[in-house]
Amino acid sequence: MISPTTSVASAQPVAPSKESATQNAAKPAPQSAATDSVQLSKAAQASLAALQETREAPAQTAKEAIHGDRQAQRLLAKEAAKRGK
């Protein structure tokens, strides 16, 4: 059988003394260096690259394609195929 809890201790906040308040005001607050990291899957990375490729200027895409960027080359080929139809 489950019985309910009959007593619960509650914590009461304590006001800081004037001395500790002035000491804390003189010291800079410590800053946490918490950072989050995210790892994208290969498929997500490819999707992100394709999205970025569509948002850049056509001149930039052409320049990247000339320099061997396969994603830019595929995008230009796809655009050329659309214009050809």
Q: What is the pLDDT of residues 5-55, one digit of tens each?
A: 655 555 566 666 665 555 555 666 667 778 888 888 999 888 888 888 778
Q: Which residue range(s) make up the domain with 45? A: 40-85
In a domain, 52, yes or no: yes
Cα separation of 82 and 52, whole Å? 20
Q: Indicate the pTM of the whole model.
A: 0.40
What is the distance of C-alpha 81 from the center of its chain?
Answer: 36
More confident residue, 3 or 78: 78
Q: What is the pLDDT of residues 47-81, one digit of tens each?
A: 888 888 778 888 888 899 999 999 889 989 998 99
State the total domains in the chain.
Answer: 1
Q: Given CA atoms 71, 76, 82, 85 in this order, what sign does their dihedral have?
A: negative
Cα separation of 56 and 65, whole Å? 13
